[in-house]
């Protein structure tokens, strides 16, 4: 397939990627550091792990329920205005957590306000926005953005641990909110744009085929939908949402309970945070590699491998002896931690097109957040009931292996627009 010659200079789409990457550092990275607050908040406020996990679990669930509505707003209004408003609310809400004195306040601010606000600046919106700027390099662009959360974990989790020791957990929340308002909001306001066509550009930086000949549109796949409801009459959306639910369970369980688990295993808070930082750093390599490979060789095989690797990481965490449990988990999980996100979003765009991508990403992320809510709450409740985290961590590992098998079963070449080289007869949505 022949592609148009790119325009000279740096394509503005890569500046969009840099902006969403910067945004993800402080929004995704800050939220994944909630586990660092579990012990100091529990000790000062005399809460059990199950109690403090309830706020995080409700937050994950509310975030999930709000995702389709956020996606619908994106499809109608565009991303820039929506993202800016949600970033302002995220910064203010994070700082307000310094005033936490009872569970209701924590649920309202962290569980409701922050969950809805961060849904508006999450991969639901950024992946839909990036899909307009990139076709051939779509997974690579999304992978780069996704690594922002990993870099945020690498930088903000150790920073959060240090700040809590230095100034206490309350002032630490203020600092994290201040970082969003001062370092993220102005950058997004100046640089973020919704659509390449509004700037006279084409996806991937391609130039027009000639001064008078318009570019040919990308051939749609057989499942591309005129209404978002039609997508749910086909099998791939359920395979993607099911796997993503397991992804959410395993990630939220980790982000909330990994540091307390490590401390209970005899590791210091600094060591636990360092292991989390190592995992986040290695994930940058893993996500970028997965994005580049999937743009060249397909999406479903990397997706299945990533779920399997994550399952192996959880098994190592539970059954590996001594120090090996912590560091082998950090290394194996590091290469797979956020790698499912760009693959799931890219497959959704490849299968169903861009018209309703915000809505469909929102539904997929709803499944992810339902899994997150279950993972957080089960982790806290089972820890209180059994005295350890081994049971929920082992359950997460087994579910990840099941998600891997489901992902391998996706019929990518049959349905993805990337493989449509000639007009195909319509297919039944039952397939």
Q: How far apart are CA 83 and CA 165, in angstroms?
A: 32
Compute the distance between CA of residue 299 and CA of residue 305 in angstroms, rounded to an integer: 10
Q: What's the whole-number average pLDDT of the chain?
A: 82
Confidence band (pLDDT; 50, 70, 90) for 3?
Answer: very low
HEC letters along the chain:
CCCCCECCCCCHHHHHHHHHHHHHHHHHHHHHCHHHHHHHHHHHHCCCHHHHHHHHHHHHHHHHHHHHHHHHHHHHHCHHHHHHHHHHHHHHHHHHHHHCCCHHHHHHHHHHHHHHHHHCCCHHHHHHHHHHHCCCCHHHHHHHHHHHHHHHHHHHHHHHHHHHHHHCHHHHHHHHHHHHHHHHHHHHHHHCCCCCHHHCCCHHHECCCCCCCCCCCCCCCCCCCCCHHHHHHCHHHHHHHHHHHHHHHHHHHHHHHHHHHHHHCCCCHHHHHHHHHHHHHHHHHHHHHHHHHHHHHCCHHHHHHHHHHHHHHHHHHHHCCHHHHHHHHHHHHHCCCCCHHHHHHHHHHHHHCCCCHHHHHHHHHHHHHHHHHHHHHHHHHHHHHHCCCHHHHHHHHHHHHHHHHHHHCCCHHHHCHHHCCCCCCCCCCCC
* Torsion sign across C-alpha atoms 250, 251, 252, 255: positive
Q: Is residue 425 scored above 60 in pLDDT?
A: no
The token pair that represents 296 in the structure block: 């060249």
Nearby residues of 102 by Cβ (< 8 Å), 6 or more positions away: 45
Considering 80-84, 257-261, 349-353, 388-392, the range whose residues carry the highest mean pLDDT is 80-84
Q: Which two tokens stand for residue 31?
A: 């939220």
Provide the residue ranges of all domains of the chain, joining segments of one domain with +. 12-201+220-419
pLDDT, residue 30, reads 62
What is the phi-psi region of residue 7: left when phi exceeds 0, alpha when psi lies from -120 to 50, beta otherwise?
beta
Question: Cα separation of 107 and 52, whole Å?
Answer: 9
pLDDT in tens, 112-124: 888 888 888 877 7
Identify the CATH homologous superfamily for domain 12-201+220-419.
Answer: MFS general substrate transporter like domains (1.20.1250.20)
Give the range with max mean pLDDT: 170-179, 202-211, 277-286.
170-179
Residue-wise pLDDT tens digits, 143-167: 888 888 778 877 887 888 889 989 9
Identify the residue with better confidence: 396 or 50. Answer: 396
- Residue 98's pLDDT is 92
Neighbours of 420 (CB within 10 A): 18
Higher pLDDT, 172 or 222: 172
On whether the CB atoms of residues 307 and 243 are closer than 8 A, the answer is: yes
pLDDT at 202: 84
Number of residues written out for the chain: 431
pLDDT of residue 7: 55
* pLDDT band at 23; cut points 50, 70, 90: very high
pLDDT digits (tens, 9 = 90+) for 397-419: 999 999 999 999 998 888 887 77
Report residue 256's pLDDT band, with 50, 70 and 90 as the boundaries.
Answer: confident
In the prediction, which pLDDT does 429 show? 46
The more confidently predicted of residues 320 and 181 is 181
Query: For position 212, what pLDDT does the model report?
Result: 45
Lowest mean pLDDT among 232-246, 278-292, 389-403: 278-292
**At residue 427, does pLDDT exceed 60?**
no
* pLDDT of 431 above 70: no
Note the pLDDT tens digit of each residue in 211-246. Answer: 444 555 556 668 887 787 888 888 999 999 999 999
Task: Provide the pLDDT for residue 10.
Answer: 83
- Whether the per-residue pLDDT at 5 is higher than 60: the answer is no
Q: What percent of the chain has pLDDT over 90?
A: 24
Task: Report the C-alpha gap between 379 and 392 in whole angstroms.
Answer: 6
The confidence band for 174, taking pLDDT boundaries of 50, 70 and 90, is very high
**What percentage of the chain reaches a pLDDT higher than 70?**
91
pLDDT of 75: 78
The pLDDT value given to residue 139 = 81
Of the listed ranges 2-6, 26-30, 126-130, the one predicted with least confidence: 2-6
């Amino acid at each position: 397939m022949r592609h148009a010659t790119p325009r000279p200079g740096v394509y503005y789409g890569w500046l969009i990627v840099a902006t969403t990457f910067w945004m993800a550092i402080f929004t995704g990275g800050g939220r994944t550091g909630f586990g660092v607050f579990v012990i100091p908040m529990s000790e000062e406020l005399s809460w059990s792990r199950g109690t403090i996990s309830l706020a995080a679990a409700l937050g994950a669930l509310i975030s999930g329920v709000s995702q389709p509505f956020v996606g619908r707003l994106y499809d109608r209004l565009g991303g820039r205005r929506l993202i800016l408003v949600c970033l302002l609310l995220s910064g203010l809400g994070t700082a307000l957590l310094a005033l936490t004195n009872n569970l209701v306040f924590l649920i309202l601010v962290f569980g409701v306000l922050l969950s809805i606000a961060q849904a508006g600046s999450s991969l639901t919106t950024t992946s839909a926005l990036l899909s307009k700027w990139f076709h051939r390099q779509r997974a690579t662009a999304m992978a780069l953005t996704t690594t922002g959360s990993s870099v945020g974990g690498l930088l903000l989790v150790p920073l959060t641990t240090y700040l809590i020791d230095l100034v206490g957990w309350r002032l630490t929340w203020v600092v994290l909110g201040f970082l969003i308002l001062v370092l993220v909001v102005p950058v997004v306001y100046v640089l973020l744009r919704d659509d390449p066509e509004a700037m006279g550009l084409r996806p991937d930086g391609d130039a027009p085929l000639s001064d008078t000949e318009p570019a040919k549109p990308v051939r749609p796949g057989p499942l591309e939908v005129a209404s978002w409801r039609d997508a749910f009459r086909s099998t791939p959306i359920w395979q993607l949402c099911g796997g993503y639910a397991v992804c959410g369970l395993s990630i939220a369980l980790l982000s909330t309970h990994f540091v307390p688990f490590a401390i209970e295993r005899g590791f210091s808070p600094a060591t636990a945070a360092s292991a989390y930082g190592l995992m986040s750093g290695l994930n940058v390599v893993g996500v970028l590699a997965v994005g580049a490979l999937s743009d060249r060789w397909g999406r479903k095989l990397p997706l299945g491998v990533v779920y399997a690797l994550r399952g192996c990481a959880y098994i190592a965490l539970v059954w590996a002896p001594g120090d090996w449990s912590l560091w082998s988990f950090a290394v194996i999980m590091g290469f797979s931690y956020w790698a499912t996100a760009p693959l799931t979003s890219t497959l959704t765009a490849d299968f169903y097109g861009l018209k309703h991508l915000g809505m469909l990403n929102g539904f997929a992320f709803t499944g992810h957040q339902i899994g997150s809510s279950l993972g957080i709450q089960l982790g806290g409740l089972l820890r209180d009931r059994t005295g350890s985290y081994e049971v929920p961590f082992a359950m997460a590992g087994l579910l990840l292996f099941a998600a891997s098998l489901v992902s391998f079963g996706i019929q990518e070449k049959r349905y993805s627009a990337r493989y449509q080289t000639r007009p195909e007869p319509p297919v039944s949505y039952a397939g």
